[in-house]
Every structure is written in C-alpha cells, then in structure tokens.
Amino acid sequence: MTLWQHLLSTLTTATKTTHSKLPLFKTLLNPYSKPHIFSFFNFHHFSTSFLVTKTPKKFKKKRKKKESPRTKLVQTQPNLSPHLENILHRDAHFRFLTKTKEYLSKQPQQVLLLDEAGKLHQQLGFPRGRKVSKFIQNHPLLFDVYRHTDNKMWIGFSEFMEGLLLEERKIMDQMEVERVNVVRKLLMMSVNKKISLSKIHHNRLLFGIPDDFRDRVVRFPEHFKVVVEEDGKRVLELVNWDPTLAVSALQKEFMIDEDKVKKAFKFAVKHGKALDLDEDDERKLNMLNTLPLVSPYSDGSKFDLWTLEAEKYRVGVIHEFLSLTLEKRAYIHNIVEFKEEFSLTKHTYQMLLKQPRTFYLAGTEMNWCVFLKDAYGEDGVLIKKDPQLVFNEKLYRCAEMKDLGSSDDGSKK
C-alpha cells in the first residue's frame, strides 16, 4: 500500500468513527484537533516539493512565431515558380563578383589594397566580418592578389578578366543607340520629362547603360539637355518628343495578338450574386472595365490618384518599365527609385499581386522582384536575350571556373 492510499484509508476511518459529526474540512483546517489523525505521519514535516504544479516546457504548446516580411516568401504553392526564384539565388551568389567588378573598374589603375578591401563589405558585396580574400579565391580566373614593390598586398583584375572587360566595352559601344532610346523612353514616361542623372546611373545595370553615360549624353544634344538645379543636382531633360518611341510594348503586341493583350490584365467589376453570371458573362463584364488600356506615355499626373484610370496607367508604366530592362525584371528598390517620376504609390506591391497573368513577384515580401511572365519560357529562361545579357552569362560561367580548362567541380569544359 502506498503512502497516499494509507493516508486516505486512515482519514476515512477517523472521519466515520471519532469525528462523524465534525465536518472533514474543520479537521483539515485545525491540525491540533483531537484525535489528530495526521500525528502518526508527522505531516507538518512532510515535503511536497516532488509535486508537479506547472506544465513542463516540453509539454507546452509552442506558439508559432509570425513570419517576418524579411523571410516570408511572396509566392506559395502551387503558384511558386522554382525557375524564377532561382534567378534571385543566382543574383545573391554572384553579388560579390558584380559589385567588386563595378568598384574596381572605377579605381585608379583598377587596383585596391587588400587591407582596404576588407573594410568595404557593402561596396564589394560580401558579409560584414568575413574575409574578403576568401571571396576572391572563389573566382581565381577573374581576380588576382599580388604583393607590390611597396610590400603590400593588392587586388586587381586578372589578364583574362581584362580581356572580358574589353569585350564588354565593345558591346556597350555597339548598343549605344539602343541605350539612348531606352533613356529617351524613360524620360517620355516621366511626369516632367526629366530624371536625375544620378538615378539613371544608379540603375544603369538594369538597362545595360554604360558607366560613362553621363559623359556620353553631351554627344546627343538633339535628344538630351543636362540642367543643374539650385541644389546642385544634375538632371537630364528631354529635348524633343518622338511619337514613334511613344508606343508601348503592349501596343506592339496588340497588333500581333489582340486576344493575348486583352487577357493580360484584369480589372474586375464588382457585382452582386443576384446577377447569376456565368464565367463567360463575367469575363465580358470585366472587359468593359479593363479596356481601353491607358498608355504609359500619357500624363499620369492628370489622373485622380485612386481612380480606375490611374491604376491602369500605373500598371502600364510598370509593364513598359520592365520591358525596357535587360532581363525584363526589376527589384523593389529599382522601382521605388522612380516613384515620383512615374506617379507610383506605396501600394505598388498590392497592385502587382492583383495582376498574376502578367507579373510574377519572386523573393520575400520585403525584398521582392517582379518579372514579366511572358518574357520567360516554362524553363525560366529568357526568350529574347540582349547581347549584354549574353556577356553577363558568359562572365558567370567563367566565375565558376578554377582555370580555363575545368569548372569549379573539376569537370572538363
């Protein structure tokens, strides 16, 4: 018999015999009452520390932490496209290569002290606290680390990389007219037909614009005028309007495949269930709202901010903006930088989510990237590639190689 069973038996017997008229709770509340049934156990010296009074942590239900916008993916199954999401992983993988290439290209003699490079984690694209030398070693075909006559370690481009940079400069020169037209179209879409030169330069890689574009614009006085504003900011202004350029990619597509363009966007008409519309009738009703589309080259500032026409205009501007980029995609920071010029609002993210037929938003809610879906095949490969993009892909392949004869895993090319 256990201790508790013995206690219960004794308590029951004592209650029935000696204290049958005395309530049990009084006996418990008065340990000195006679007969004292607990005296045998010396209960006031009995420890209850072994009793479990709280639920152990391992049995408690864990609350699910609310996922942060920094890590929460925009897309979920079955809408998630692994091919397009992998493009963002590639961006992160080659961030050091892209940023270091740009930074070194601007340095005197295109070299940098190794000690100084270790402090430039943001400019060179590697995590704070990590050794820059380890990232350089990942691309031995493109970067060299050497000891100069001053007995200091320096970083520079390899001879092979210098050849690639020369090849890229030739592409920039060949594509100059196309890049000029891209900038002209951006200016024609902007509210006041002008954009800060610093914004264009900051987003130059998005459009394949050369680094020295700010110096090249003076060669095109028939298209551009550089104005220095009161705050010292240099602004690029459009000199003349070209109606042949004021034709959007959607308008060109409409001439080829009218039905495809009609289905590109959906601006639904709200209606009650009492109408009892079938799918075809609902599509026709929505079409009344969707068409006509608003040209991105119209004056967006004249639209009332929350009207249907204003939203159609902003959707069209984003579409045309993406069509001018090399990879038909752009990150949130690229789009937000032109917020004032293109009359965009803080609700751009929600606006794009409502148009899944045309746009695909990849990445996380805090750092998303929007793609033009029709520009990519089912395998996630861009259908039409700009010469600059072909060069970039070649550079990425070389970055993965340890030498000219093999890839990073040792397999022969």
Provide the 8-state DSSP code for 403.
Answer: B
Q: How many CB atoms lie within 10 A of CB 331?
A: 18
Q: Rounded mean pLDDT of 402-409? A: 65
User: What per-residue confidence (pLDDT) applies to 25?
Assistant: 45
User: What per-residue confidence (pLDDT) applies to 26?
Assistant: 47
Asked whether residue 137 is assigned to any structural domain, the reply reads yes
The residues near 15 (Cβ < 8 Å, ≥ 6 apart) are 24, 27
User: What per-residue confidence (pLDDT) applies to 8?
Assistant: 57
d(CA 399, CA 370): 26
d(CA 286, CA 264): 12
Least confident interval from 17-26, 51-60, 173-182:
17-26
d(CA 229, CA 224): 15
Higher pLDDT, 367 or 284: 367
- State yes or no: pLDDT of 406 exceeds 80: no
User: What per-residue confidence (pLDDT) applies to 187?
Assistant: 97
Question: Sign of the C-alpha dihedral, residues 183, 184, 185, 191?
Answer: positive
The structural domain count of the chain equals 1
d(CA 413, CA 397): 10
d(CA 143, CA 148): 15
pLDDT confidence tier of residue 40, bands split at 50, 70 and 90: very low
Provide the 8-state DSSP code for 327.
Answer: S
Instruction: Give the angle 151-156-157 at the CA atoms, nearest 5°.
Output: 150
- State yes or no: pLDDT of 229 exceeds 50: yes
Phi, psi of 158, deg, nearest 5: -75, 165
pLDDT confidence tier of residue 412, bands split at 50, 70 and 90: very low
- State yes or no: pLDDT of 304 exceeds 60: yes
The answer to whether the beta carbons of residues 374 and 329 sit under 8 Å apart is no
For the domain that residue 155 is a member of, what is the CATH number? 3.30.420
Q: Give the tokens for residue 330.
A: 């752009």
What is the DSSP code string of 258-270?
HHHHHTT---PPP
Helix (H) or strand (E) holding 144, with range, is strand 143-147
Q: Give the tokens for residue 328.
A: 């038909």
Q: Rounded mean pLDDT of 268-289? A: 56
- State yes or no: pLDDT of 278 exceeds 90: no
- State yes or no: pLDDT of 321 exceeds 80: yes
pLDDT confidence tier of residue 265, bands split at 50, 70 and 90: confident
User: What per-residue confidence (pLDDT) applies to 19?
Assistant: 46
d(CA 120, CA 100): 10
pLDDT confidence tier of residue 182, bands split at 50, 70 and 90: very high
Return the closest-CA partner of residue 248 out of 212, 192, 292.
292
Asked whether residue 181 is assigned to any structural domain, the reply reads no
pLDDT confidence tier of residue 18, bands split at 50, 70 and 90: very low
This prediction's pTM: 0.80
Question: Sign of the C-alpha dihedral, residues 196, 198, 201, 206?
Answer: negative
| 3-class DSSP state of 40 | coil
Q: Mean pLDDT of all residues in the chain?
A: 84
Asked whether residue 91 is assigned to any structural domain, the reply reads yes
Alpha helix segments (H runs only) across 156-307? 159-174, 176-189, 197-202, 204-207, 213-216, 249-256, 258-262, 279-290
- State yes or no: pLDDT of 276 exceeds 60: no
Asked whether residue 66 is assigned to any structural domain, the reply reads no
d(CA 281, CA 294): 24
Identify the domain containing residue 100 by its residue range. Answer: 85-161
Least confident interval from 8-17, 95-104, 290-299, 302-311:
8-17
- State yes or no: pLDDT of 302 exceeds 60: yes
